[in-house]
Structure 1
């Protein structure tokens, strides 16, 4: 092996958001030597941006049952979600939220002292009969409260954080088992091998493949890129959620909690248009549905503003007290990014890329599962994933709001438990590292060092974002997506020739951005090829040439393999753990 420094841990976790820190807490409290790598200080991870709440059928405000939550999640997923994983998540939700409360998370309260819950899109009582209050909230800063709570618990548990480190590549041995990662320390520019008994990816989404996104600039799909390069397929990458209410022109998120508190969407004519599309749930229909309705209003000439290119989110009727108490950050965002005070006037909003439903294929135990021979799901020994980078698949073709924070803590803990069991039972000592463990990562960095007459990173990234925005948006069609496949392949070729002018080692952000682009490109290519291949409309994948859902041919998960850019498919898990299967039906609201 090249002369690269090595460090050894029981467990290495890449990513310090909600999922990574929840798993780390489990491992550290079990007495295992745990390292958490993060490109930013842990409390700046993207979980901090989650606003509206975390779902659990506590029934603090009105009657609720986990079975109703499960039904809503299956229906929200447009029957592409795995029903065993969905049951596991919804059944575990109350326990997970109460645990957060016991950790000290500062939830808002109702008069009795119990956790406050607000309504949210797609969450209903009695299997779709009426909206239910299920979103446990800390004002409109729920992710912020959750992340700080988990960070404090990890400090208490002596978790070891490697702050401002970037993981580069997964290390797999001759058996295909995962034995560690290579990583770059930003402060020095040095490459390290982190040798581990088990590795967890909790690297978040890749929303920055789009030009307009609510995602932070750090959301560059690092876990997806590392998996793709290591021969692990990416699942369901055609499904991207467009959040209905991004600030028009800025993309900054306005939580669905605004509509949960009683905010309403208006078109340019002042009409509450969601009553036409979803007479029962109105503005609280699931996100994919509301986003399409908003886009239709604009496309059909009923948009607001000088260019009629957005709609309006009205909340002035809620009154200053509700806005300042329940939605203080939203008021601040509206004033700063839209130039409007929501106490007096509506906020201009438009659907904006928000969440990746696909990712690294896992089961509800957090184990990474790949096809082998005739078996569509074989465990990769020593490798786990949780959070937005993972595809369990609880969100299927469309995620319900507030199920993302729930996903983080439920599957973060589940993956942590699986890792503890694996380390204690199956890998009590480290497997040897391959001789060439660091060579691939070093060759990638060397290419950047030596590239001359190449492409500028900014130019290639912009071309990628423009292609994905144009070809894989809210509405899709065969002609557009076929063009997208061709265009993204050309961009991917350009990405092989990126160059950086700054060759220094210390705090070289140009090198970091070039390495992040390598990961973004993998996610973008997977997205475009998988979207073009799916000949139906399901959840967030709205195909103008195939406008109906086709359960006979397409109720299956896509798997994208980067080495030859081919797609395979595997069946959806239709067997829940303990309850009856929820059969497909038409989604109406």
Structure 2
């Protein structure tokens, strides 16, 4: 295929459509380990940010994003992003996305954390779900897009440092295949499944990030992981920030709206890093409510009334009743912070190009640096749309001017041996599930919202021990077709690498910025740390380098809400 896209979430599908539109002669493949509309993008709830109204402006959206990022975003990328986002909203509207409407028929927009204008376009509280179905419906209409559903990519093949192909397992048969490509787009999403309590689907294991990292492409700013203030207790399922955008209150055991102590102006609509730290502080200082799953806080929507909850937050009511055992119309919803998003990812530029020719990255697996040290809610789905489109177009143009290269049979056979002899054939006495649970416990205890040098050091040591134990695993199921045990082992290998990079970056960054909250370095340090972290794979662990950020209009300032 000319262009091969890995991942079929919002970014992957948008890239496929954009590539197919460049020329009907371009042959596009989309590889997904799931049926596409099972991708985690369907779990996006609250909205998609775009400037569509009088009173709002590109500069205001850009400033909100830069301030939200704690000044680590690349401002040229942010300025491009805010200008493109409205076009994507209108395009989705034309393709049939059922946006919620105002009384006069315009796309409705709600307030959202960190945004100083209501610019979150929404489809009730199932925005990602509707965007995904719209994009998938559109993508399946093109003759030049082929879907490979339930195929699992295991490695990236480079020849002379140019991306030339991928190795994949067709899960149904359990056989290894190789794809040749002129251009490859990674759109594989995030990796917050390295934590216990997370809003993420079990399939979000950061495969694309780990695959390119193992091939020598750097990962950027991986120490910045967003914790969403409202994960439903006990499952961690997302309760959208839209619940607060619609006027919900966060309350502690005393019944206080405690955000007045932390962000007196924005209250519940402060950026996520600030709200999650506030919640953690409330719990640590003994003002949490006590429950069978440990201390928690409450999201109170009762004052919104049943009619508004059913119109604007129907999914939240459904989820709270079925999975939390509470009806938000009658009682507060139990919540606490949950791992939610990775600001870091595959190092790529404003055109989604990575340092390797022919390799592109878009969506959450990429780091182009729109989000800096903390993403604003609703900027992620816009990011997937805007840069999915850019990646598709850039990859297609690259494919038109390139030719296929021969793939090294040696590399394909070596990968087949690694997967089927090395991992599936391994007869050790370690269990994948045991190591995975250990990793999640370590990350949740020592690399959570508040971080300290000694804890990060011990976490790094423990993760490296787990990587050694991984050499000695045993996959119980030795059959080939649909071997979920083998997939779990491959995903564990990916997540352990990403956990290691996350800790190494966090340990090195001796400051308090955005979602990276070092208690032993309680101040932001622009003099030494106004720069991006790059992590390169070596056998001994990640090698870190740093590159400057881009400032166009907004020099770093104090960040208060």
Q: TM-score, normalised by structure 1?
A: 0.93
SS in 2 for 1:241: strand
Could you tell me which residue of structure 1 aligns to residue 490 of structure 2? 515
Offset of residue 510 of structure 1: 0.7
- Aligned equivalents of 1:470 and 1:533: distance in 2? 19
User: What corresponds to 1:337 in structure 2?
Assistant: 323
- Residue of structure 1 aligned with 2:529, choices 554, 557, 560: 554
Structure 2 residue aligned with 1:39, among 10, 16, 33?
A: 33
Q: Are the aligned partners of 1:82 and 1:572 in contact in 2 as well (CA < 8 Å)? A: no
Q: Does 1:443 align with 2:417?
A: yes
Q: 1:416: which partner in 2?
A: 392
* Paired residue secondary structure (2:193): helix
How far apart are 1:306 and its partner, in Å?
4.2
Match of residue 433 from structure 1: 407
CA distance in 1, matches of 2:550, 2:20: 35
Q: Are 2:505 and 2:544, in contact at CA under 8 Å, matched by a contact in 1? A: no
Aligned to 2:374: 398
SS at match of 1:363: coil
Query: 2:183·2:399 contact (CA, 8 Å) conserved in 1?
Result: yes
> 1:507: how far off?
1.1
Contact 1:224 1:522 in 2 (8 A): no
Distance in 2 separating the partners of 1:440 and 1:257: 48
Q: Secondary structure at the match of 1:178?
A: strand
C-alpha distance in structure 2 between counterparts of 1:330 and 1:462, whole Å: 28
Which residue of 2 is the match for residue 198 of structure 1?
183
In 1: Cα distance, 2:212 partner to 2:445 partner: 26
- Partner SS state of residue 438, structure 1: helix
User: What is the match of residue 127 of structure 1?
Assistant: none
Map 1:266-415 to 2 at 5 A: 266-306=251-291, 309-369=295-355, 380-415=356-391
Query: Counterparts in 2 of 1:492-531, with a 5 A limit?
Result: 492-531=467-506
Q: Tell which deviates more after alignment, 489-498 or 431-440.
A: 431-440
Q: CA deviation at 1:567?
A: 3.3
Task: Pick from 60, 64, 72 the counterpart of residue 72 of structure 1.
Answer: 64
Residues 164, 180 of structure 2: 8 Å contact kept: yes
Please say if residues 19 and 386 of structure 1, whose CA atoms lie closer than 8 Å, have aligned partners that are also in contact: yes
Pairing 1:118–2:104 present = no
Look up the match of 2:151: 165
Superposition deviation, residue 35 in structure 1: 0.7
Whole-Å separation in 2 of the counterparts to 1:306 and 1:411: 42
Distance 1:461 1:423 in 2: 39
Count of residue pairs brought into register by the alignment:
555
Contact 1:495 1:521 in 2 (8 A): no
Q: Which runs of 5+ in 2 are unaligned?
A: none
Unaligned stretches of 5+ in structure 1? 1-8, 125-131, 370-379
Matches within 5 A, 1:38-57: 38-57=32-51
Deviation at 1:225, TM superposition (A): 1.5
Distance in 2, matches of 1:231 and 1:420, equals 24
1:135 paired residue number: 120
Write out per-residue CA displacement over residues 497-541 of structure 1, whole angstroms, 9 at most, x where no aligned residue: 222121111111111111111111111111111111110000000
Tell me if the contact between 1:25 and 1:154 (Cα under 8 Å) persists in the aligned partners.
Answer: yes
Given that 1:287 and 1:400 are in contact with CA atoms closer than 8 Å, whether structure 2 keeps it comes out as yes
State which of 241, 261, 264 in structure 1 corresponds to 2:246: 261
Counterpart check, 1:573 vs 2:545: no
TM-score, structure 2 length as denominator? 0.97
Q: Are residues 1:221 and 2:206 paired? A: yes
The 2-side partners of 1:568 and 1:510 are apart by 33
- After superposition, give the CA deviation of every residue in 1:399-441 in whole Å (9 maximum; x if it has no partner): 000000001000000111111221123x0x2122223231332
| C-alpha distance after superposition, 1:295-349 (max 9, x if no partner) | 1111111111347711110001001110000000000111112111000110011
Tell me whether 448-457 or 474-483 shows the greater mean CA deviation. Answer: 448-457
Contact 2:450–2:519 (8 Å) recurs in 1: yes
Superimposed CA distance per residue, residues 78-129 of structure 1 (whole angstroms, 9 cap, x where no aligned partner): 11111111111111111111111111111000011110000000001xxxxx
**1:489–1:525: 8 Å Cα contact kept in structure 2?**
yes
Alignment partner of 1:472 is 2:447: yes
Structure showing the higher strand proportion among its residues: 1
Aligned partners of 1:449 and 1:544: how far apart in 2?
42
Shift of 1:14: 0.5
Q: Hey, what's the Cα distance between the residues in 1 that align with 2:210 and 2:470?
A: 13
* Counterparts of 2:502 and 2:276, CA distance in 1: 19
